[in-house]
Amino acid sequence: MVYFKSLINIMISFCLSWTPSWSQNVPELQEIVFSGNIFGRSEDSQGQLNFDRQNLSNITSVVPKGSEGTVVETRPLKKRGTYGLKIRLTKVAPGTKTKAVEGDEVWVYFSDVNPWLSFRNKEGMEIQDPEVDLLTIAKRNGNALIPPIQKTILQGPDPNEALVADKTKAQGDFCLHCEASSSALSPGENLRELINKNKTMAGYWSHNSKIMEYSEGSAVKKMISHSIRNKKKYSTGYCYRYVKRSLLASGLARSYPPGRYAKNAVKDLKAQGMVNLLEDSMYSKIIQNPSDAPKGAVIVYANDTKEPGDVQIKTDWGNEGTYLSDFDPQSKNSFLDSPKARRYAREGKPYRMIGVMIKP
């Protein structure tokens, strides 16, 4: 009798402690929207996926920007944070010549560092960190053999980044270095030419070779283009997250910077090797407002309240360009001109720039 009771106890405790891992997380992921033109691919005869940029044989169609679909299957790839997603197309965006039709099932490449897809839940709201759901679906399909452990810098080219023939030209008609690569000059000459061209726009900074090299360098271009490609129509409350992603994608950050609040970004980004120009008396007198900051600077804002602060990337010199984070402010105004900052200024708790970060 005693043995029987203990056996029952063991069975009950086993049942309580064991549940299939996939049943703990019900994925909220419902829909995917393509934020660029992406190659749809097929598996090979052995069921293997190949997203190599050199491999054109398995491309079945180009899925145009704005198309929508549902996730049928996910498969973690060898690089951490990257997945192959099998998507059933529910809508093919008009206006682009493509073989893709509604109902097609295609494999596409996804990287959390440089996403070309946005994920939505049942209510149509965007899922900011889809990795949990992608992994849950992969586990359900028995595909989660290589679990992502930690976010690290992803080395090597992104298959969604460029067409094979012209590595300067991205998929989605997004031309990253078209202007620089169109001439027959060497990269060094090209940079000098570009710097000369922008000297008039750069104003004071045109005399500072270190800052000019940073602002006109390829890393800043990559950071800005990443921000442009991933920006939303309006704020999602994840300004710092999107800036971190752009920094990581451009290589300006060595690893995904920790930290939740934008107002702590100065400390977080210094740990990544960036410097705050406002801490140098030579520059702090010159940078009186965001438009004075150099192109590509990461501007950090805070006030003397418990507010989380804000962070933005300056996309051009002076009053040209705009200030990007998770969204496009749709004007040339920085955060300091936003209704929120104006209200705090009226109440005597004004926001101010606490960091103008660059990586010389």
Partner 1 sequence: MKYTLLLLFFFSQALAFAHSPAASKLQALNLKPLEQTQADRSDSSYLKLQDEAVDALTNAVAEAVKNPQDEILIDEIFRVSIVLLNTDPYQYAGEILVPLYQKQQNLFLKHLKKFSTKDAQRIKEAVKAAERTLRRGNG
Binding site for partner 1 (CB under 8 A): 123-125, 233-241, 244, 259-262, 308-311, 327-333, 335, 337-340, 342-343, 346
Q: Which is nearer to partner 1, 188 or 339 (CB)?
A: 339
- For residues 126 and 30, the answer to whether their CB atoms sit within 8 Å is no
Q: Which is nearer to partner 1, 41 or 226 (CB)?
A: 226
> Which of these, 149, 105, 108, 156, lies nearest to 131 by C-alpha position?
149
- For residues 343 and 319, the answer to whether their CB atoms sit within 8 Å is no
Q: Which is nearer to partner 1, 133 or 326 (CB)?
A: 326
* Smallest separation, CB 238 to partner 1 (Å): 6
- For residues 324 and 313, the answer to whether their CB atoms sit within 8 Å is yes
Half-sphere exposure at residue 126, Cβ-oriented, CA atoms within 13 angstroms: 17
Q: Which is nearer to partner 1, 97 or 123 (CB)?
A: 123
Q: Which is nearer to partner 1, 82 or 338 (CB)?
A: 338
* Smallest separation, CB 189 to partner 1 (Å): 39
Q: Which is nearer to partner 1, 162 or 239 (CB)?
A: 239
* Smallest separation, CB 116 to partner 1 (Å): 22
* Smallest separation, CB 256 to partner 1 (Å): 10
* Smallest separation, CB 337 to partner 1 (Å): 8
Half-sphere exposure at residue 280, Cβ-oriented, CA atoms within 13 angstroms: 10
C-alpha distances in angstroms, 256 versus 32, 154, 173, 233?
24, 11, 28, 24
- For residues 40 and 59, the answer to whether their CB atoms sit within 8 Å is yes
- For residues 352 and 302, the answer to whether their CB atoms sit within 8 Å is yes
Q: How many CB atoms lie within 10 A of CB 24?
A: 9
Residues 338, 304: Cα–Cα separation, whole Å: 17
Q: Which is nearer to partner 1, 47 or 124 (CB)?
A: 124
Indicate the burial class of 59 (C-beta count within 10 angstroms; 0-12, 13-18, 19 or more).
middle
* Smallest separation, CB 336 to partner 1 (Å): 11
* Smallest separation, CB 326 to partner 1 (Å): 8
* Smallest separation, CB 178 to partner 1 (Å): 28
Q: Which is nearer to partner 1, 5 or 233 (CB)?
A: 233
Residues 85, 105: Cα–Cα separation, whole Å: 10
Helix axes 218-230, 239-250, angle to 10 degrees: 140
Residue 88, SS3 per DSSP? strand
